């Protein structure tokens, strides 16, 4: 079989040079992406149109020698598939009609979520056929807590207060919502593997703002159930966890969820990450704004990250998604530094 450096790193094999991919690598910083996006009615139409989703997924790999393609989609296709109203409004981001304690029982009752997500799975199949054999294909979904914060709050939030209060005031309904999301996520990720994904990532984008008890019940336990559920059907499935903002809970997350590798956000000190088990592959963690600024500080920070993770399997990435104002030449500089020193 052709060696896939990024997949091998997820599975614990240290590479001579760390492989690289970039969160949101298909996005608005690329003019070719903006051209396609301008032709679609809305963001979800782009996600659900295999021709277009395949094209934008492959765009960054045509410009840069990245080691992986990540499926172009969104974490909110799951609530959309469950029957919740999801729309993306210009300047506001995602807007959902919030679920209630009473409406949760009806989620997913009208239509099979995987039937709704069939176009996304078709995109995975097309990507598998189009990618060079050494490139890793990454699938993903949002983790239950993160997805639940949008489903309950109706939009993104800096403190997830609506979801946190809902979980405290309606524990049984909240547990039922997590159950639905765990089951749907397992089915969705298994289907992605069956369609050709090499590895999947769990995006726990809102792992911050939880006390230790809530972190256990809202983050660790649902993610563990997903990992176990996927591997029951896809033995040894390679899984990356990305608990953004987990801070002091990082070691617990890695040990108790069973993920193969863990992404760390840019606020995680390099010295702290160095205290995690050396056998644990880590992914990250350049600040996206350093990539915007460029120059000597970018080179210095790349060197610092490489040095900090030199003694373990490491996937170079940003500590959060690339931002639209990122100059293309700075991305090219980053990839060249990783590939050629």
- SS3 for 175-206, per residue? HHHHHHHHHHHHHHHHHHHHHCCCEEEEEECC
Phi-psi region of 199 (alpha: psi -120 to 50; beta: other; left: phi over 0): beta
- Count of other CB atoms within 10 angstroms of residue 102: 9
pLDDT grade for 341, boundaries at 50, 70 and 90 = confident
Per-residue model confidence as pLDDT tens digits over 12-33: 999 999 999 999 999 999 999 9
Strand 136-142 to strand 261-263: parallel, antiparallel, or no bridges (unpaired)? unpaired
- The pLDDT score that the predictor gives to residue 92 is 76
The residue assigned the tokens 């492959």 is 58
Establish whether 150 is an annotated binding residue. yes
Q: Which two tokens stand for residue 134?
A: 């050494």
Is 282 strand, coil or helix?
A: strand
- Pairwise CA distance, residues 293 & 190, whole Å: 39
Query: Which residues are catalytically annotated?
Result: 24, 28, 37, 74, 150
- The reply to whether the predicted model has a pTM over 0.95 is yes
DSSP state of 306: H
% of the chain surpassing 90 pLDDT = 94
pLDDT beyond 80 at 91: no
The CATH number covering residue 254 comes to: 3.20.20.210
Longest dimension (CA), the chain: 57
% of the chain surpassing 70 pLDDT = 100
- The pLDDT score that the predictor gives to residue 66 is 98
Establish whether 112 is an annotated binding residue. no
- The pLDDT score that the predictor gives to residue 82 is 97
Per-residue model confidence as pLDDT tens digits over 229-267: 999 999 999 999 999 999 999 999 999 999 999 999 999
Establish whether 232 is an annotated binding residue. no
Q: Residue 195's Cα: distance from chain center in Å?
A: 18
Establish whether 27 is an annotated binding residue. yes
Question: What is the phi/psi pair of residue 299, to 5°?
Answer: -60, -45
In the chain the beta strands, taken as DSSP E runs, fall at: 68-70, 86-89, 93-96, 136-142, 199-204, 239-243, 261-263, 282-283, 314-315
Domain housing 175: 5-340
For the chain, the domain total comes to 1
């Amino acid at each position: 079989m052709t060696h896939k450096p990024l997949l091998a790193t997820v599975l614990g094999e240290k590479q001579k040079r760390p492989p690289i991919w970039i969160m949101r690598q298909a996005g608005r910083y690329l003019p070719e992406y903006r051209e396609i996006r301008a032709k679609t009615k809305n963001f979800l139409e782009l996600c659900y149109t295999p021709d277009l989703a395949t094209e934008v997924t492959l765009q960054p790999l045509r410009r840069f020698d990245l080691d992986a393609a990540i499926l172009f989609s969104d974490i909110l296709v799951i609530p959309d598939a469950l029957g919740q109203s999801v729309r993306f409004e210009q300047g506001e981001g995602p807007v959902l009609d919030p679920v209630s304690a009473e409406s949760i029982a009806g989620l997913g009752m009208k239509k099979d979520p995987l039937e709704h997500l069939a176009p996304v799975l078709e995109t995975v199949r097309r990507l598998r056929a189009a990618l060079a054999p050494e490139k890793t294909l990454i699938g993903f979904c949002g983790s239950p807590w993160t997805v639940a914060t949008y489903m309950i709050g109706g939009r993104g939030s800096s403190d997830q207060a609506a979801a946190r209060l809902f979980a405290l005031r309606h524990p049984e309904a909240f547990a039922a919502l997590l159950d639905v999301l765990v089951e749907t996520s397992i089915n969705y990720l298994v289907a992605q593997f069956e369609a050709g994904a090499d590895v999947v990532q769990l995006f726990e984008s809102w792992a911050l703002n939880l006390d230790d008890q809530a972190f256990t019940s809202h983050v660790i336990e649902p993610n563990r159930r997903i990992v176990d559920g996927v591997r029951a059907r896809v033995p040894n499935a390679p899984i990356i966890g990305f608990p953004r903002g987990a801070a002091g809970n990082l070691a617990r997350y890695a040990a108790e969820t069973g993920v193969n590798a863990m992404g760390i956000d840019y606020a995680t000190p390099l010295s702290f990450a160095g205290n995690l088990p050396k056998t644990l592959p880590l992914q990250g963690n350049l600040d996206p704004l350093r990539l915007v600024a460029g120059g000597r500080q970018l080179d210095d920070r790349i060197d610092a990250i490489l040095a900090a993770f030199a003694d373990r399997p490491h996937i170079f990435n940003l500590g959060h998604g690339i931002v639209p104002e990122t100059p293309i030449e700075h991305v090219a500089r980053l990839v060249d530094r990783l590939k050629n020193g």
